[in-house]
Amino acid sequence: MSTQTPTVHAVPQLDVHAIRQQFPILGEKVHDRPLVFLDSAASAQKPNAVIDCMANTMRHQYANIHRGLHWMSERTTEAYEGVRDLVADFLNAPSREEIVFTRNSTEAINLVAHSFGALLKPGQAVLISQMEHHANLVPWQMLRDWAGIDLRVAPITDDGDLDIEAYKALLADGKVALVAITHMSNVLGTITPAKQIADMAHAAGAQVLFDGSQSVVHHKTDVQALGADFYTFTGHKLYGPTGIGVLWGRRDLLEQMPPFLGGGDMISTVTFEHSTWANIPHKFEAGTPAIVETIGLGAAIEWVNKIGFDGIAAHEADLTTHALQRLATVPGLNIVGHPRVRGGVVSFTMADVHPHDIATLLDRNGIAIRAGHHCAEPLMRRLGLSATARASFGIYTQKEEIDVLADTLVRIRDFFV
Amino acid sequence: MEAPFVNPQEDTAAEAIEAIGDELDVFDDWMERYQYIIEMGRKLPPFPPEWCNDAHRVPGCQSQVWLEEKEADGRLYFAGLSDAAIVCGLVALLLRVYSGRTREEIQATDPGFLRDLGLVQALSTNRGNGVEAMARAIRTAAAVSA
């Protein structure tokens, strides 16, 4: 080998064609056109590995968990609890007991708002940002109204980045007990500087929660390297099933927090007068959980791990660059948000065309995107918009699909002018 | 009836639905069909800007839809507007069917014709569309005793 050859960092190429073969739904037609699915940020499609795992669980290995003294229950418990190990590895969490299963990220955040919120005192504050999804806004408003705490909102810049100076100023009085911020905006695609946010929060005596619903899908997540105290994500955006989400929390915090829901499985002892709680994580998992969905989440994580985040991140960065270039050529199209670091989500508006009309006409051409306020109404107001159209990308997205989107947008534009 | 309230073009709601179906059938292509629907929206009588407020807004749609009604000679007349062009066209289509009819005729006319024409895919669940909410608002207006 020639010594002159510069060292090239090998970026693993995804075999997108082979990956697409694993998603049966991608062979479907919509309005007689091949489905172009550009709405993965709302919910991703499911590979056979997940579909088959869930079906096989129900066909061959299913019973209630944690309580049966029989073979089926023990095997199902093993499969279910095995996913806790997988998730702990996936997030690089220090221990499996810090992984709490919830229904989705929304429920995980509500759990923290309720149970961490119970430790807060009037006068303390929770700090969020202007780009939060309603899931990371409304629970804190509810907590504010119950607990008499303050709710502070860190502004964003016109480009769609967190305004770090303003964020720092909002932390300065030392009253913020918790910073709760998205790790990646579902509207702007902004990947927030999580490590910096966490370091600044800790310096001001605050804990930090990241809503990782969008970001866990696109790159490797390491809650310890980020310096997070809580981290949440949902299964269905990670090629897994709906109805299963994850809260990771630091052990000492989870141990101090009171339970969220009461019922079976979360208790140690129960009398008519009094109950004592199980240890973490079971303290936070009342009732029969989403057993099959949890096992399905495990299959999704194993599937994603097998593909590897190096390849996934490179593919999605490539798609996003391509989308930004192609969409910039569509007359009248305006990209919403120009953050410094972004993931595979691109919001846009078009002069004289309502996002709703864009989505309806794209749909007739087999192209699925999202249009609306994206469950982030205050962000829309900050941007001076009532709605945007949003295309989002996943493992299975092809550049050709982005070309179809851009070409169809040109036709739609012609329609209105 | 004076603008912005919509006068019926056909004698009955059923005839209006049939006429709309025939007009849409002329087109082979859904893009052309939508172009025609958008045109219908553009031909709506100008909706007074001062009515584009929360009091006139039909709740339950992501695009904004505004509606006003007026009763005359035992008939209900409607005026409407949306900020999205296709939804505005669907508003025009709904008003062509429902405006200037008696309460009885409005209540007897099922908005399912929108689904039959392929204009909305699932009338009861397509919450983002606003047309279903509009149809409900029109029929609720007709159900309220004068």
A-B Cβ pairs (cutoff 8 Å, strict) = 44
Q: Which CATH superfamily is domain A16-47+308-416 in?
A: Aspartate Aminotransferase, domain 1 (3.90.1150.10)
Instruction: Tell me B13's DSSP state.
Output: H
Of B31, B63, B83, the CB nearest to A361: B31
Q: How far is B45 from chain A (nearest CA, A)?
A: 19
Higher pLDDT, A93 or A271: A93
Residue in the structure block whose two tokens are 């490590």 = A195
B chain contacts of residue A134, beta-carbon cutoff 8 Å: none
Higher pLDDT, B35 or A51: A51
A chain contacts of residue B83, beta-carbon cutoff 8 Å: 354, 386
pLDDT of residue A169: 98
* pLDDT, mean of residues A102-121: 97
Burial class (CB in 10 A: 0-12, 13-18, 19+), A133: buried
Q: Hey, which residues of B are catalytic here?
A: 61
pLDDT of residue B50: 94
B chain contacts of residue A371, beta-carbon cutoff 8 Å: 62, 128
pLDDT of residue A297: 98
Inter-residue long-range contacts of A81-89, CB under 8 Å, 24+ positions, other chains counted? A82/A298, A83/A294, A83/A295, A83/A297, A83/A298, A83/A301, A84/A281, A86/A298, A86/A301, A86/A302, A87/A246, A87/A248, A87/A297, A87/A298, A87/A301, A88/A248
A416 contacts B86? CB cut-off 8 A: no
Closest residue by Cα to residue A101 from A82, A127, A123, A119: A82
- Tell whether the model's pLDDT for residue A398 goes beyond 70: yes
Of B64, B86, B128, the CB nearest to A357: B86
Q: Least CA distance to A361: which residue of chain B?
A: B31
CA distance B114 to B40: 15
Segments of chain A assigned to CATH 3.40.640.10: 51-306
Going by their DSSP bridges, the two strands A245-249 and A230-234 should be labelled as antiparallel
Segments of chain A assigned to CATH 3.90.1150.10: 16-47+308-416
Q: Is the pTM of this model over 0.80?
A: yes
Distances (CA, A) of A305 to A22, A68, A218, B62, B146: 15, 31, 12, 38, 65
pLDDT mean across residues, chain A: 94
Q: What architecture (CATH level 2) is domain A51-306? A: 3-Layer(aba) Sandwich (3.40)
ipTM, interface predicted TM-score of the complex: 0.82
Quick: pLDDT tens for B91-135. Answer: 999 999 999 999 999 999 988 888 888 777 644 444 456 777 888
Q: Least CA distance to A415: which residue of chain B?
A: B35
A387 contacts B63? CB cut-off 8 A: yes
Quick: pLDDT tens for A166-203. Answer: 999 999 999 999 999 999 999 999 999 999 999 999 99
The answer to whether residue A375 is catalytic is yes
Structural element, H or E, at residue A328: helix A309-328
- Tell whether the model's pLDDT for residue A122 goes beyond 60: yes
A387 contacts B86? CB cut-off 8 A: no
Structural element, H or E, at residue A363: helix A355-364
Of A31, A373, A416, the CB nearest to B85: A416
